[in-house]
Chain A
Amino acid sequence: MKNKNYSKEHVRFLQRRKRNLAIVWIMRIGVLALLLGLWELVTALNWVDPFIMSSPSRIANTLADLSSDGSLYYHIGVTLWETLAGFAIAVVLGFAIALALWWSDTLRRVLEPYIVVLNALPKIALGPLIIIWFGTGNEAIVFMTVLVGLIVAIMHVLSAFIATDANKMLLLRSMGAGKLQILWKLVIPSSYPAVISMLKVNVGMAWIGSIMGEYIVSRAGLGYLIVYGGQVFKLDLVMSATFVLCLLAAGMYALVVLLEKVLVKNTDS
């Protein structure tokens, strides 16, 4: 619907929209710059102790040091691997279990209380058990990540499966469709938006899982750097690792949003 012959009023409207968007972006960046500037200022002037508060310049230096000996990338690699592995397993397994629970009403009713309890349980309570069962390697952390994300994934996808439009199911049944056809042609495609929102939630869950896992047991990774930095009072290290974590989480979320654009196109109506 490209039409260059807009009325003057419409052109003004478009300009106003554009200006608004620009203002929002300028202010977003302004807020960041202001906070960083204030932080740098109060620490540089020693109004607060930079040893406790760290500062943007100290974070930049720390990151540069970590980066020059390559250890930064090593720690990022470890955490990223754990997070992605845990995320993938939780999502795929969660989807599969949700399928099984949709397929069998009886199975769903049998397992419902267990799922509810597992959902409410703070997974960190299982920390000691996980260490004993899986040792102190990456496996323990991946397992923790799966544990944190799995139930959320199941509940999200299952509720979408169950909410499938009853009339569309009736329509398919009237065409002679069996349960498998209803699943492939209707239930799964109509759950795409819910699957995407599940992925978004699970990005957060995966980072919670992996960092929590590294807090409990680890010898490497960003969570390890944070805990280690806290123990030896190197707040620069804590802040730097947290900063990198922010970037990674945002990047992963952006990837899911990109996937959403590809997958969910014409579902409006």
Chain B
Amino acid sequence: MENILTFRNVTHIYHTVRGELVAAQDLSFTVGRGEFVAIIGPSGCGKTTLLSLAAGLLKPSEGTVESNGTFGYMLQKDELFPWRTIEKNIFLPLEVRHKRTPTEKARAIALAEKYGLADFLKSYPAQLSGGMRQRAALIRTLATDPDILLLDEPFSALDYQTRLNVCEDVATIIRSEKKTALLITHDISEAISLADRVLVLTARPARVAHSHTLDFGDIPPLKRREQPLFSVWFERLWGELNA
């Protein structure tokens, strides 16, 4: 499998007037094309820093981050612009990249319609439910047809029921669009139910403590939760996180 993202001995230091903070140290891992990788770690271990490094928004203090494709970023909240319709929100990345051509627009619209947003294209975000908004945010992320999706706890702002549903949604969409995904989460069960591989980070400065390939195959998230293997993995990752 070809590597689409490679972190090689990455160290990142934040500088503030009060001092410096080593967010990541000697961090190495790879993500293969088409893979769904989840990263879990104790809170405050610099998970979000990691995504910013991956997207090239931050430059590492030491080491290299190599990527082999384009990114789409999805955040905790949907961050839809309230003054734009859903359609205009989905076009936003196209506008930013000066790619608002009829073909690209048609592709984005087709994607939105395929995943159940057809009736909401002319609505404003405030008129949609939390789950629908997050789905619109995902379609916006997919509008430019990125190779890698960076997901920064994209379900944590939703209530539990919506969360399970949206999780299922997102997994389906990402798998059927054959995207590579790097998910950051503090929720162990979410990581197990979504990922092909789970990386466990240490407390700050973040380093990869363990890497596990999960053997669920193509079983969707909700079904995974019913598997006996699920609780086995849960206990194991729980133990490693608290080590």
Bind each other:
yes
Residues of A within 8 A of B (CB): 165, 167-168, 170-177, 181, 185-186, 189-190, 192, 265-269
- Measured between alpha carbons, how far is A172 from B141 in the docked complex, in Å? 11
CA distance A192 to B82 in the complex (A): 12
Query: Given A175-B97, A176-B96, are A266 and B75 also a contact pair (CB < 8 Å)?
Result: no
User: Is B55 interfacial (CB-CB < 8 Å)?
Assistant: yes
Partner of A171, one of B75, B95, B97: B75
Bound together, the chains give a CA A185 to CA B96 distance in angstroms of 9
Contact across chains for A269 and B125 when beta carbons are under 8 A apart: yes
Whether the pair A175, B93 counts as a contact (CB closer than 8 A) is: yes
Chain B residue nearest in CB terms to A267: B82
User: Cβ of B75 and Cβ of A167 under 8 Å apart?
Assistant: yes
Contact mask B138-159 → A, CB, 8 Å, 1/0?
Answer: 0000001000001000000000
Q: Is A168 in contact with B79, judged by CB distance below 8 angstroms?
A: yes
A174 touches B83 (CB 8 A): no
Chain A, Cβ-Cβ closest to B97: A176
CB of B126 within 8 A of CB of A186, answer no
Interfacial chain B residues near A167, Cβ < 8 Å: 75-77, 79
Least distance between A128 CB and chain B CB atoms (Å): 44
Partner of B83, one of A165, A171, A177, A189: A189
Q: Are A170 and B97 in contact (CB under 8 A)?
A: no
A165 and B124: CB pair below 8 A? no
Asked if B81 lies at the interface with its beta carbon under 8 angstroms from chain A, I say yes
With a CB–CB cut-off of 8 A, which chain A residues contact B36? none
* A166 to B205 CA separation, bound complex (whole angstroms): 24
Contacts A167-B75, A167-B79: A269 and B126 contacting too (C-beta < 8 A)? yes
The CA-CA distance from A181 to B144 in the complex, in Å, is: 17
- B7 CB within 8 Å of chain A: no
The contact string, 1 if C-beta is below 8 Å from chain A, for chain B 115-142, is 0000000001110000000000000000
Chain B residues near A265: list those with CB within 8 A: 83
Identify which of A165, A170, A190 contacts B57 (C-beta below 8 A): A170
A265–B123 Cα distance when bound, in Å, is 13
Q: What are 8 contact pairs spanning A and B, CB under 8 A? A: A167-B76, A172-B92, A172-B96, A174-B55, A174-B57, A185-B81, A185-B95, A266-B124
- Residues on A with beta carbons closer than 8 Å to the beta carbon of B92: 172, 175, 185
**A266-B124, A269-B126 known; A168 vs B81 contact (CB < 8 Å):** yes
Residue in A165, A168, A177, A267 whose CB lies within 8 Å of B96: A177
C-alpha gap A240/B57 in the complex (Å):
63
Whether A181 touches B82, Cβ cut-off 8 Å, given contacts A174-B57, A174-B73, A269-B125, is no
Question: CA–CA, A148 to B169, complex, Å?
Answer: 55
